[in-house]
């Protein structure tokens, strides 16, 4: 890491025509929702990407890891509801 910088996005890049450009997600009262893991790749220029566990078994293992790291958060019934986006990832549904 030899070059460190800052990126600034203007509102019109993130919110256009009354809708968020990057994506949407919903959370109901009392829910814990997994919207994805986010990664900033700078190989060819700054690119934000959303990724996720592949399959229910991998997701359950990830939630157990989070529960160990963050014991103060109730994670007994985490909903897998990825950020709906065309900018930062592909669609994916977790099969029960």
pLDDT, tens digit (0-9, with 9 covering 90-100), for 36-79: 998 888 777 777 888 898 999 999 999 999 999 999 999 988 99
Quote the pLDDT of residue 60: 94
Quote the pLDDT of residue 20: 87
Quote the pLDDT of residue 65: 95
The C-alpha R_g of the chain, in whole angstroms, comes to 16
Residue ranges per domain, the chain? 11-80
- Which residue did the predictor score with more confidence, 75 or 86? 75
* DSSP state string for the chain: ----------HHHHEETTEESS-B----TT-EEE--EEEEE-SSS-EEEEE--SSHHHHHHHHHHHHHH-TTS--TTEEE---B-SSS--------
**pLDDT more than 70, % of the chain:** 95
**pLDDT more than 90, % of the chain:** 36
Residue 87: partners with Cβ closer than 8 Å, 6 or more residues away: 21, 22, 23, 48
Q: Per-residue pLDDT for 17 more than 70?
A: yes
């Amino acid at each position: 890491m030899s070059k460190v910088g800052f990126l600034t996005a203007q509102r019109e890049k993130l919110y256009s025509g009354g809708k968020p450009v990057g994506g949407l997600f919903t959370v109901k009262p009392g829910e814990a929702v997994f919207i994805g893991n986010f990664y900033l790749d700078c190989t060819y220029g700054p690119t934000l990407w959303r990724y996720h566990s592949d399959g229910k078994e991998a997701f359950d293992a990830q939630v157990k890891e989070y529960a160990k790291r963050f014991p103060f958060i109730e994670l007994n019934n985490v909903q897998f509801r990825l950020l709906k986006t065309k900018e930062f990832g592909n669609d994916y549904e977790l099969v029960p």
